[in-house]
Every structure is written in structure tokens, then in C-alpha cells.
Amino acid sequence: MSGAASLIGAVVLVVSLGVAAQLVADWLQIPSVAFLLIAGVLVGPQALDLVDPAIFGQAGLQAIVGLSVGIIVFEGAFHLTVERVREASREALGLVTVGAFVSLVGTAVAVKVVFGTTWPVAVLVGSLLIATGPTVITPIMQVVPVRDRVAAALETEGIINDVTAAILAVATFEFVIASQSSPLVVVEAFVARLAVGHIVGIAVGGGITLLLQRWHLSADNALQNARVVVLTAALLAYALGSMWLSEAGIAAAAVAGIVLGNADIPHEEEIADFKGGITLFVLSFVFIVLAAQLSLGDLRALGFGGLVVVIAVVALVRPLGVFLSTLGGRLTVRERMFVGAMGPRGIVPASVATLFAIELRPENPDAAAVLVGTVFLVIFATVMFQGGLARHFAQALDILPMQTLIVGGGRVGRELAVRYESRGEEVVLIDSDEDTVERTRAEGHRVVHGDATNASVLEEAGAGRASVVVAATADDDVNLLVAQLAMTRFGVDTVVARANQPDNVEAFADLNVETISASFAVADAIDDAVERPSLAHWLSDSGRTGDVLEVELRNDSLTDRPIEEVAETLPDGCLVAMVSRDGTDRVPDSDFRLASGDHLTLVCETNEAMQDARRLCQGD
């Protein structure tokens, strides 16, 4: 077979395996990287010998891997919006500073102690393993619907630490291969590449933003052109940065992605979808090729020490770094435990370690074996176990929140979202109008753009894990169909629908849907203002800090106890106003004894007291 035919056959096989791995991963809801690594090892020279990375040539492989990493990093950074970072800004800052430092030092010490390498080689391994990366974190977050603040912290860490790890590793590598260099060369090289990356990234991102904004006014094929231009921007930023200073291209691609992702460019959602598809393709190809190059001898050479290092990195270094970097933040103890258990490594350490090993092996084969063996062993272990068991971890820690789904991003829907979010609840809105979606997002809400009468849109928004669905559009037909889908297709416990026309209330009642008639609601509000003015004013005051809460009693320590005793355990500023049992509502006296399953109506002065009371009553 000719060289060209062999190359074509290898490319087609790799692409086919990549697609198959993605399909299997989607089916099992496990990050595809695990299957890509396995596929690469199986078809590589160490197993079936169907794909030999040497066919691409060393320079060709470096170019392919470099440009691919540039696209992948750009794609992750494109989604790193200011609003996303604000979800967990304090935690994210801690993870990319304190957490990264602990990871670097802890991993380097483990490698030095276990394998007895030189400190520069140990630091090189530690530098690479700082990176978690969006290629492995994002797929996990797609199948493990944790709170936004948890996902935002992990995703921000992955994107920024990818860049940090790549640049720091390159700087450290220069020190490793230069026998008489000062350690200051590491700092100088790191700062120089970071500076070049920022300059090139801002220039490319800003220039492409202006081009898209102006071109949009006259181009007939604006969407198609915008997609191609943004993809070119990723490659251009990486190429210019790398040409200026080796490996500065990764930082340049990341900065350009952040600039474009936070800019007001046309067709942003369509561009993101298009780039996501390209990234999946590139990721599949590169991971399989890199895994095919992996030498099983390097892994065997690590022996029992390799297992010790993996355990140290996963079970000691990562949890310690997360614990120290999230002190005083908004994450709960269980959420911090989950973040500590999620540190899968991805494409950046795999690609950079492979390329470094090629250069190191002729002069220092032992260092090359430790480098590539340790990095890939950690990648295998973290992707397979942390990625595969992520949902089980989250379920065991009970950090998967039920959410409220609001259909309709108008004034009613947005006001409801503000109220629910002020109580600490997870809220997602759905609307089919693009302008409404943009306005709602600008106010800081999570929104899915689409027709909520389509079951796939409801599923995308998370109807399968919603505890409440509110159909609040101005169209009764839409509200009726959404309510029906929520109850019959997704089995949502509480479905509330807005009836704009009084004549339609009966149709909603036939579905056993909690119905709010717009005209009746106005009449009730007027009646409250006349008969209960103080309460009406308090409930309608958007600036109030407390609220009325109804919660099911599931805490056994509070059952079979009189209200007088229970009141003493409630947070300050909370009062039990009513107890509902077996369909009967009553105002309890001090001797009334509570039972499991009672629904308590609490009046709370502050949102914090309300959240504490909810957790107490539910046994959390």
C-alpha cells in the first residue's frame, strides 16, 4: 500500500473510531475521552498496530496537535462569559491560584519522592497535571446537572488552568533541557508567553469582533461567513502566538476566545453550536492519535509507584487544593467534596507530554518514561473513574438540585424567576422569542431558546429533573400543552399554569393542573390590598428579604414534638403559621404535635432564615 493510501486509511479509521466513541459515550452518559483513549491504545503499535502516529511525521504531528489544541482551548474560552464566571467568581479564582499551586507542589513532591527524579522533571510533571480542561469537565457537567455555581467553578478552572499548565510546562521544559540555566528562566518564559498570548489574543479577538459586527450589515450569507471567520480566528490566534514565541499560541487562542465570547456578535448561538461540532471532531482525532503513540512499556516501568502517585494526586492533592481554595466561598461542604473529587485531566497534558517525551527520549529516556507514563496514567485513572462515576458521586453527596422551569420570559416569568432565585432555587426559563431571550439573559437568568411545546426543548431545559414547571406565557394553548407534557411525559410533581382567559380555566382543571386565572389573581390582589394591607404590601414588595414558605416535614428529629419545642429549633425570625395534614389545614397551638409528611407554612423574615428552615425541615 502506498504512503498516501496508508495515511488516508489511518485518518479514516481514526475518524470512524472517534465518531463511534462519541456515540457510545452519549449512550452511556460518560465523557467520550475515556473511550477515545482506549480506542487509541487498541489501534496503536502496542496492540493491533493499525495506526502508527509516525506516519504523520514528527513535524506534522506537532502541527496537527498544536492547531487542534488551539481550537479546543478557543472553544472552551468562547463559553467563558463574564456572567458565567460571576456564578462562582470567588471559588474559580481560588481554584486557579491556590488550587493550581497546591496541585503543582503536591504532584511534584509525589513524583520526586516515589520515582526519585530530579526536581525539574518532577515540576514538569506537576505543571502539566495542573490542567483539568474543558474537554473533560464540560461533558461531565452535561450529564451531572449540579448547581450553576459548582459547574461554573469547575469549567472556569478547566479553561484557565489549561493555559496555565501548558505555558508553565513549556517554561519548565526549557529549564530541564538547558543544563546550566537559572530557575529564573521558568518565570521569565512563563511571563513572556502569557504577555504575548494576551497581546495577540486581544488583537485577533477585537479585530474579528469588529469585522463580524460591520459585515453583518451587508453580507447575504452572514451566518455561514461568521462561522468560518470565527474558526479562522482560533487558528490565526494560535498560529500568530506560536510564531512569535513557542507555545504562546495556547494563551492567544484562549484570550481571543474570551474576547469573542463576551462580545456582541451576530449569530452567537449558531457559531457556538458549529464550533462545538468542530471541536468534537478535532478532539476525537487528536486523542486517538496521541493514545496510539503511548508506550505500554512506559506505564509498566512505573510499576507500583505509578499507582501510588495516582492515588496521591487524586485522593490527597486534589481534595486539599480544593479545600484550601474554596474556604469562605458559597459552596457547601458537600459541593466542595464533589469539586475535590472532580479533577479529570484532558487534552493539554496528553498532547504536551507526548511532544516533550519525543524530544527528551534520546537524551534522557528515564525522564521521558516518567513524564509520559505518569501523565497518561493520571489521565486514564481520572477520566475513567471520576468521569464515569461523577453522577454517582453527586447523587451520593445529594447535591443534584431539583429546579423550577418557567415557560415564558415575559414580565410574569421574569418576576417569578427573580423571586425563586432570591430563595436560592435553580431556575431555567424557556422562550421562543429571540429578543426576549437576550433581554432575559442580560438580566442574569438562565434561558433556553426554543418552543416549549416541543418535548425535546423541555428535555434540554431539564424538565426531567424539575420539581416545578410553571407555564406563564400569554397564550393559553401553549400553557395547556406545556402543562400536559410536563405531567404526562416528564412526570413533574407540581405543574402550575397561567390561564389568561377565564373561560379556559375549566380546560386546565380537567388536567388536574394548578391553575392561576389572570383576572381572578388581580381580583385577589385587590381584595388583599383592602382587607390585609400590611401582608399584601409585604408580599408584593420586591425589596423584601423574607417570604412565606411551605415545606414538607421529613426530619424525624422534629416529628412527634409539640410546636412549642419545634419553634425553638427553627432559625430566628421563622414562625409556623399553619400545618396541613391529610388535606386539612389548621393553625396549630403550642401543644400541637407534628408528624412526618406534614406540610408546614412558615413565615420567615430573611431569605437566609428561610433557606435554613427549609434544610432543617427536610433533614438536610
Walking along the chain (620 residues) 10 residues at a time, the average pLDDT comes out as: 71 84 74 78 82 78 81 80 70 89 94 90 90 79 79 86 82 71 73 88 89 65 74 88 84 88 76 68 80 75 88 94 88 89 85 80 83 88 82 82 84 84 79 85 81 86 84 87 87 85 78 75 67 67 69 85 86 86 85 87 82 80
592-594-600 Cα angle (round to 5): 100
b/e for 305-324, b at 16 or more Cβ within 10 A? bbeebbebbbeebbbebbbe
Task: Give me the helices (H) in 423-475, please.
Answer: 434-442, 455-461
Distances in Å between the Cα of 228 and the Cα atoms of 59, 252, 285, 294 are 26, 19, 20, 34
Residues 6 or more apart whose CB falls under 8 angstroms from that of 57 comprise none
Distance CA 143, CA 365 (A): 40
Distance CA 374, CA 435 (A): 50
* Kind plus residue range of the DSSP H or E element containing 470: strand 466-471
Neighbours of 584 (CB within 10 A): 7
* Kind plus residue range of the DSSP H or E element containing 515: strand 514-517
Of 167, 147, 56, nearest to 428 by C-alpha is: 147
Q: Dihedral of the CA atoms 461, 465, 471, 475 (nearest 10)?
A: 40
* Kind plus residue range of the DSSP H or E element containing 380: helix 365-381
90-91-95 Cα angle (round to 5): 120
Distance CA 5, CA 615 (A): 64
Show contacts of 47-55: CB within 8 Å, 24+ apart: 50/10, 50/13, 51/10, 51/13, 51/14, 51/288, 51/289, 51/292, 52/10, 52/292, 53/289, 53/290, 53/292, 53/293, 55/3, 55/6, 55/7, 55/10
DSSP letter for 560, please: T
Of 251, 228, 235, 193, nearest to 71 by C-alpha is: 235
Q: Following DSSP, what letter does each residue of 310-347 receive, concatenated?
A: HHIIIIIIHHHHHHHHTTTSS--HHHHHHHHH-----H
Superfamily name with CATH number, domain 403-524: NAD(P)-binding Rossmann-like Domain (3.40.50.720)
Name the CA radius of gyration of the chain, rounded: 28
Contact 617, 555 (CB under 8 A): yes
pLDDT for position 178: 66
pLDDT for position 525: 65
Distance CA 127, CA 307 (A): 19
Distances in Å between the Cα of 607 and the Cα atoms of 225, 421, 602, 618 are 48, 10, 12, 16
pLDDT for position 340: 92
Distance CA 73, CA 60 (A): 20
Distance CA 386, CA 348 (A): 18
Joined together, the cell numbers standing for residue 386 give 471520576
Domain-by-domain residue ranges, the chain? Answer: 61-286+297-397, 403-524, 544-618
Q: Give me the sign of the Cα torsion angle 380, 381, 387, 389.
A: positive
DSSP letter for 475, please: -
- Backbone angle region of 424, left / alpha / beta, with phi > 0 → left and psi within -120 to 50 → alpha: left
Distance CA 207, CA 160 (A): 22
pLDDT for position 90: 82
- The model's pTM: 0.70
Strands (E), 519-596: 547-552, 574-581, 584-586
Q: Following DSSP, what letter does each residue of 154-197 receive, concatenated?
A: HHHHHHHHHHHHHHHHHHHHHHHH-TT--THHHHHHHHHHHHHH
Class of domain 544-618: alpha beta
- For 344, half-sphere exposure in the C-beta direction (CA atoms, 13 angstrom radius) is 28
Distance CA 48, CA 42 (A): 6
Distance CA 610, CA 128 (A): 45
Give the fold, CATH level 3, of 61-286+297-397.
Na+/H+ antiporter like fold (1.20.1530)
pLDDT for position 102: 94
The distance of Cα 163 from the centroid of its chain, to the nearest Å, equals: 17
Q: Dihedral of the CA atoms 432, 436, 442, 448 (nearest 10)?
A: -10
Burial of 599 from C-beta contacts in 10 A (0-12 / 13-18 / 19+): middle
